[in-house]
Amino acid sequence: MERRMTQFSPAPDRLTLRRPDDWHVHLRDGDVLKAVVRYTARQFGRAIVMPNLSPPITTVAAARAYRERILAALAESPAVLGGDGAVGDVSAFVPLMTCYLTDDISPDEVARGHQEGVFTAAKLYPANATTNSAHGVTDVRNIYSVLERMQEIGMPLLIHGEVTDADIDIFDREAVFIDRTMSRLVADFPALKVVFEHITTEDAAQFVVDAPETVGATITPHHLEISRNAMLVGGIRPHYYCLPIVKRERHRQALRKAATGGNAKFFLGTDTAPHARNAKETGCGCAGIFNAPHALEAYAKVFEEEDALDRLEAFASENGPRFYGLPLNEGTVTLERAQNAVPETLPGGQVEIVPFHAGSMLSWRLASS
Ligand code: DOR
Ligand code: ZN
């Protein structure tokens, strides 16, 4: 068996990486946007910003305006974060905007947005799959003319890969989507770049490995760290509820192998999805895990546990831009080994938001820059 150097080297106390990007974030809008955007911007050079606002971002004008609001919110953000005093260089952060696909969106609008440098990619939400997806696509054949254009102009398609049929068990929805939709879509559009977002199953990881080079996938920190037992054994934990839902342990193990195994098709995408505490701790709680505040630390924990810290940089900072055809970032970020206490809650404008790892201790911390 091949052995890598890190297995023999002492564990490092500092880890400097090329500045990473987050290929899947929900920044929201208004006060919440103002409260959360700096967490992403202090770690990441760029982030793919999801368009599932209410109403969703379906036009070039709406995306331009949203991008302005993001940059304005960042400019207003307090300079110092939390109690640790650490702050990254937020001024260079670039939000990459996406277009929310609907059954009747015009191929011209999507293509114009890409050509004008506004839409980096387009997002396919199957209708009613998740938060603010009611206007999503009811049948992928309805948008074949859009996908045709995207393929022609090299614009990536980002997919929330779950079926929404009432008779399909929630734990099977990703695997059934692969069989019913994803396989055919990839076959029908052989040159279209497709990102299978936030994969949660062994089936999805294997599909991506076996697919052509045009197919990549993002993997979240929470799907690498928790399985459904963590969410449900000994009490129900609403802050671990997200979509696609966390699966069996065997799937988590497969995702850890995929993320840390060195295959360049897999890259970092946190799916950080802030919701007010009272919207999660309630009779019918919202889906979404707010992991932006300690995202890089969480990935570092997983890569270290898998003896793969030497592969973190490729996953976090290289595979994504290469897939998208964008330059790698120039700057760096440094993680240092330190006790890093995660607060129970963080301010989210008018509301409180509970972060992933709330109340626990992490062993890496983003260093001041
Ligand atoms: O858990 C999730 N939250 N999954 C999604 O697909 C959407 C996201 C959100 O926007 O809250
Ligand atoms: Zn998402």
Q: What is the pLDDT of residue 4?
A: 52
For residue 77, the model assigns a pLDDT of: 80
Residue spans per domain, the chain: 7-366
pLDDT of residue 267: 99
Query: Which segments of 284-356 does DSSP mark as H helices, in order?
Result: 295-305, 312-313, 319-324
- Ligand 1 binding pocket includes 42 (Cβ within 6 Å): no
From 32, 243, 291, the mutation candidate for ligand 1 (largest count of ligand atoms within 8 A of CB) is: 243
| Ligand of minimum distance to the alpha carbon of 276 | 1
Query: Looking at residue 177, what is its pLDDT?
Result: 98
- Taking the centre of ligand 1 as the mean of its atom positions, its distance from the CA of residue 85, in whole angstroms, is 30
Shortest-distance ligand to the CA of residue 274: 1
Q: Quote the pLDDT of residue 95.
A: 98
- Write down the pLDDT at residue 210: 98
Residue in the structure block whose two tokens are 């995702």? 255
Please give the Cα distance from 2 to 159 (Å, whole number). Answer: 35
In the chain (369 residues long), the average pLDDT of successive 10-residue segments reads: 54 95 98 97 97 97 98 80 51 96 97 98 95 93 98 98 97 98 98 98 98 99 98 98 98 98 98 98 98 98 98 98 98 96 97 98 89
The reported pLDDT for the residue numbered 1 is: 46
Q: Is 198 annotated as a binding residue?
A: yes
The catalytic position among 22, 271, 307, 310 is: 271
DSSP states of 115-147 as a string? HTTSEEEEEEPBTTSSTT-TTSBS-GGGGHHHH
Active-site annotation holds for 167 = no
**Under CATH, what is the fold of the domain 7-366?**
TIM Barrel (3.20.20)
Q: Which of 29, 36, 52, 177 to mutate to test the pocket of ligand 1 (most atoms within 8 A of CB)?
A: 52
What is the per-residue pLDDT for 7?
52
Give yes or no for residue 164 CB within 6 A of ligand 1.
no
- 251 marked among binding-site residues: no
